[in-house]
Structure 1
Amino acid sequence: MTSVRRDRADAVPGAGDPGARYRRILRFALWHLTVTWWFELFLPRVGLSRIAEHTRTKRMQRFAQRFHALAVELGGLMIKVGQFMSSRLDVLPPEITAELEGLQDEVPAVPFRAIRSLAEAELGAPLESVFASVEEIPIAAASLGQAHRAQLLPGNAADIGLASAVLKVQRPGIDAIVDVDLAALRKVGGWLSHVRLVSNRADIPALVKEFAQTSLEEIDYMNEAANAERFAADFADDERVTVPDVVWERTTRRALTLEDVTAIKITDSEALLAAGIDPAEVAPVFASVMFDQLFTNGFFHADPHPGNIFITPATDSSAGHPWKLTFIDFGMMGEVPPKTRSGLRKLLIAAASRDGKGLVAAIRDVGVLVPSADTVKLEQAMTHLFARFGGMGFAELREVDPREFRDFAMEFGDVVRTLPFQLPENFLLIIRAMSLTSGVCSSLDARFNLWDSVEPYAAQLLRDERGNIVQDVAQQALDVAGVVLRLPKRLDGLLSRIEDGSLSVSNPRLERQMARLSRTAQRLASALVFGALLIAGSVVRADDTVLGNVLMIVSVVPLLHVLWRGRR
């Protein structure tokens, strides 16, 4: 949930003709995809890449500004798409992320009369007979719903054990808006799936499907209530974390009642200091809790932006921890499958130990890098990255010469572009969660060093992994025994293929180099033919003007071949 812009409280984005909304989203996407294709793909092919580079910053800013305006006007999932893009600091340029980050705070509220009508229809009774009071001004508004502070009736409060609550109600008509937005996103995803540059990196239809599933789950408040209880169970024995209780008697698919746990916003440094809490001490604890969700529990909060996390000071002086991280809004949750979680654990251990080769192997295990990729240069680049920048905090990185960053980025980018990276399923929310975690930690402490949190956590993971070493060794022994038993038969098959000449060996890197050599040889041959025809034509022209002119004109053909091959 996000803070409310009260000056726009009467606006209800997304209202209107669904067909017009659908067409508007598609027109916006088609226009900007065409502009991107023209500048980023077509112009470089015809030797005009400098024009694309010169205009790139302004084009990115213009796109972000127009999408920002579109998202605020339409609301619905367009806000969610913009919020996701604003968190992708690792992929998208700052011209886009900086413009879209304001979407977290620009969601206009729905008038209370519409909220009241929907809530009463869901709860089956007037609000006055269900709650002692409900505040008309919302405490938070989001793209899919908004929250109002409420007081339970005395009898209910005694039975449940709490008096103050928060009533969260969906935006009226949001179901239809979500359906339209998802249809438009599927259409755009279909377009992108036909662009090889995009389809080689990610399965866009699968990502849209994942986004759709998450969005549909988010507008089902019964699902959110179940998520809250599951999350609370995961941290039941952790004194660092607390979760609001669900008032099931006042909860339906479109209305959710929770314990009011409003406290200090996690990034409100002044309020934290006034409460005697050092923001710099909050950052590593928050990072560690997020690591637990991703690498140990496998069930994580996928929307940990500052509006969804409070710091609650302990009221009991004997409490083991002086404050708690209080999570709210469990509509967007993610799950990490066991295989992916194992790969992520290996990735974290390799990163903490500055092991470039191990990090690349873990990236391959997670599924980000296809198995056939030649990773020698990537391993060298990662080793260089760890040697130069590993262990630096955000403040230290800001002190590095920008030219050094630019040179390394160009070198690293060249390596990355040659490798077959892809974005596997279930990764959309993982990336979002880690991006938001990093942003919150750096806002709490400008000198926050992620390595300081990663290293002890990775060390604990490593100790846990070693605890299973006997099981691992036994499994490896079985694998080796299986290989040994199959080896004679495989050797016999290999010898047979060598004898009949059917053995083939594939080396993608060597094949690419051979292809380049072949093209170079063809260009050289064409250049020689061009020179020979041109010289012959000029010599013959003195005695036979017609033949000489013909030879000189024909020489243009191999010249064009040289230029065409060179462009490819």
Structure 2
Amino acid sequence: MSDDALMRARYRRITRFAARYLVQAWWWELFLPRFGLGALSARGRTRRLQKLARRFHVLALDLGGLMIKVGQYMSSRLDVLPPIITKELEGLQDEVPAVPFAAIRARAEEELGMPLTAAFASVDERPLAAASLGQAHRATLTDALAADTGMRNVVLKIQRPGIDRIVDVDLRALRKVGRWLSKVTLVSDRVDMPSLVEEFAVTSLEEIDYLQEAANSERFAADFAVDGLVAVPEVVWERTTRRVLTLQDVTAIKISDIDALRAAGIDPSEVAARFAAVMFDQLFEDGFFHADPHPGNVFVTPLPAAPDATSPAWTFTFIDFGMMGEVPPTLRRGLRRVLIAAASRDGKGLVDGIRDIGVLLPTADTIQLERAMTQLFSRFGGMGFAELQEVDPREFRAFAVEFGDVVRSLPFQLPENFLLIVRAMSLTSGMCSALDPRFNIWDAVEPYAQRLIREESGNTVQALAREVGAVAAVTARLPRRIDSLVDRFEDGSVSVQTPRIERRIRDLERMVRRVVSAVLFTGLLIGGILLQAEQAVLGTLLAIASVVPLSHAVLAGFIARRNGSA
């Protein structure tokens, strides 16, 4: 069969698979419940999901390409998808079939413009790893190149032959499925599927450009240059092209290998907590994050222990920077607000943060959603995944029945760049749960959120100080400007029609002074309260100083009333 015929057959297999299960989902999950047959639908749901996962597993392994990426993403959703699905798909992390070395050699030599025997001192024909878009082999640099780069052992990453066409066909099929979904009201009211597919397309095309990946790795390394907890392999630019990437060999303990971690004296629960913190830093601080942190892309590297250390030191080593994401400053502020609200168990604040991010449209009526979030925090807030699994399923169902219609009726959407954020966070939570079944996301969120709260408080104090300064400046200028206005009335430059104008001007002057005093009192008092936690002396002084404008505001009013009555 010709290559064109193979690509057409690939396209048809993907679209037919999607069409078949979309129709099944419509029949079982939408049509039957509408006619009072929801119990019948629920009875066979587990068996249907398991069958779907198995068939997709077979399809993904057979086709490769982006289908494996989709399966890997679903297999990592331990926190959301049922175990029957994640269990069936978890093998996709390691079961990608390898390409014969002869084809890989030809691809590499074509890209490098020289035989592999000239480019490297040696290349291991056995693949170190076979991924959906490329394949990795261990290699050693020539003496001259090793002297120039300061490294000897490297990993040679080579794209699969024909992957450009495969990605193009897969994206065309996904675009068609996206158009189908856009015609389903339940989906189109919440997600612009064509735009979402295009965002995925851009990411996928960047992932098959190894020059872009190399640049991403160096940028990521620069973000963590002063952080000893994260390491990144160095790029051998002399042996790197768009389809061939040569990196320092940093192979170590796979982050999901719990037995190897314990053998090295490393506590998996500590790895989980630190990994969550590292991912939070990428999302909320740097704004440039690894969007594909699955177990094959993160190592735990033991380091020589210091003489006085009580346990071995170690670091995270990230690889594969083809799928990276950026968080714009406005979106980062919204995410920080969501994190703070979640840590504070603030249902209304969480809804406001979701609105700021753009997931919830401004027209949404959120009163019921705020009530739902408040009750959710009240009942389940602070629980880890292990604790949630012990909750009576009937309680979850009761909650879903009470608030399900509210959530479904709200106009949600996925803003630009949000798909990769969701992917990164879901992979992170799934990884941490696998490392430590008792992992509690609140334990990871709360210390981080407290730091954000302190930073936000500092920003608030600074803004308040600027506001108080501005009010003080106005206060200083106000008497002179009012006196000038009065002078203009007195010298006749402004004509008046009644003698009561002068008295009203004096009343206005007194009123403005009292308002300014009240504003100064409020600013000084709030500033003092906010500063008490970190700068007690300055906070106390500001609070004491607030008594002066308060006294003026109160006494000036009393004197004015007394004079008026006289």
Smaller-chain TM-score range?
A: 0.7 to 0.9
Structure 1 residues 332 and 15: CA distance shift in structure 2, 3 A: farther
Residue 355 of structure 1 pairs with residue 351 of structure 2: no
The aligned amino acid for 2:115 is: P
Q: 1 CA distance for matches of 2:355 and 2:153?
A: 49
Residues 456-502 of structure 1, C-alpha deviation per residue, up to 9 Å, x if partnerless?
Answer: 1011111222222256558999xxxxxxxxxxxxxxxxxxxxxxxxx
1:84 and 2:82 matched: no
Aligned to 2:546: none
**Deviation per residue, 1:262-300 (Å, 9 max, x gap):** 111112222222222111211111110000000111110
Contact 2:272 / 2:436 at 8 angstroms: preserved in 1?
A: yes
* Distance in 1 (alpha carbons) for counterparts of 2:5 and 2:281: 44
Amino acid in the other structure paired with 1:409: A
Question: For residue 113 of structure 1, what is the aligned residue in structure 2?
Answer: 102
| CA distance in 2: counterparts of 1:37 and 1:418, whole angstroms | 18
Greater mean alpha carbon deviation, residues 265-274 or residues 141-150: 265-274
In structure 2, the partner of 1:371 is: 362
Q: Deviations over 1:332-377 (max 9, x none)?
A: 1111111111100000000111111101111111111111212122
The residue that corresponds to 1:398 in the other structure is 389
Instruction: Please point out which of 172, 176, 188 is paired with 2:177.
Output: 188
Would you say 1:416 and 2:407 are equivalent positions? yes
Aligned 8 A contact 2:77 2:430 in 1:
no
Give the C-alpha shift of residue 81 in structure 1.
Answer: 1.6
**Residue among 148, 153, 161 paired with 1:159:** 148
Displacement, 1:430? 0.8
Q: CA RMSD in A?
A: 2.3
CA separation of 1:80/1:172 partners in 2, compared to 1, >3 Å: closer, same or farther? same
Alignment partner of 2:425 out of 429, 434, 437: 434
Structure 2 residue aligned with 1:257 = 246
Bigger shift: residues 45-54 or 315-324:
315-324
Which deviations, in whole Å up to 9, do the C-alpha atoms of 1:489-523 show, x marking residues without a partner?
Answer: xxxxxxxxxxxxxxxxxxxxxxxxxxxxxxxxxxx
- Between the aligned partners of 2:401 and 2:72, the Cα distance in structure 1 is 28
3-state SS of the aligned residue for 2:28?
A: helix
CA distance in 2, matches of 1:324, 1:82: 28
The alpha-carbon deviation at position 302 of structure 1 amounts to 0.6
Shift of 1:408: 2.6
Q: 293, 314, 325: which is aligned to 2:316?
A: 325
In the alignment, the residues of structure 1 paired with residue 179 and residue 228 of structure 2 have an alpha-carbon distance, to the nearest angstrom, of: 47
Alignment of 1:468-487 (within 5 A): 468-469=459-460, 472-473=463-464
Does the CA-based 8 Å contact 2:79-2:385 persist in structure 1? no
Q: Give, as a single letter, the amino acid of the residue that structure 2 aligns with 1:243.
A: V
Question: Over residues 376-405 of structure 1, what are the superposed CA-to-partner deviations in whole Å (9 max), with x where a residue is unaligned?
Answer: 222122112212221122332233333323
Corresponding residue of 1:446: 437
Secondary structure of residue in 2 paired with 1:138: strand
The answer as to whether partners of 2:78 and 2:433 remain within 8 angstroms in 1 is no
User: Conserved in 2, the CA contact under 8 Å of 1:87 and 1:432?
Assistant: no
Distance (Å, rounded) in 2 between the aligned partners of 1:98 and 1:442: 14
Q: Partner letter of residue 155 of structure 2? A: V
How far is 1:103 from its partner? 1.6
- Partners in 1 of 2:105 and 2:233 — Cα distance? 23
Q: Which amino acid aligns with 1:385?
A: L
Structure 1 residue 91: deviation in Å?
5.6
Question: Which stretches in structure 2 are left out of the alignment for 5+ residues?
Answer: 469-566
Provide closer, same or farther for how the CA distance between residues 91 and 309 of structure 1 changes in structure 2, counting only shifts above 3 A.
closer
Distance 2:77 2:190 in 1: 16
Q: Deviations over 1:78-108 (max 9, x none)?
A: 1112222333456655443332232212210
Identity rate of aligned residues, in percent?
71
Matching residue within 117, 127, 133 for 1:128 = 117
- Which has the greater radius of gyration? 2
Query: Which residue of 439, 463, 480 maps to 2:454?
Result: 463
Whether contact under 8 Å (2:79, 2:429) holds in the other structure is no
- Give the AA of the match of 1:469: T
| 8 Å contact from structure 2 (residues 73, 427) kept in 1 | no
Q: State the aligned residue count.
A: 466
TM-score, reference length from structure 2: 0.78
The TM-score, its normalising length taken from structure 1, stands at: 0.78
For the pair 1:74 / 2:63, whether they are aligned, the reply is yes
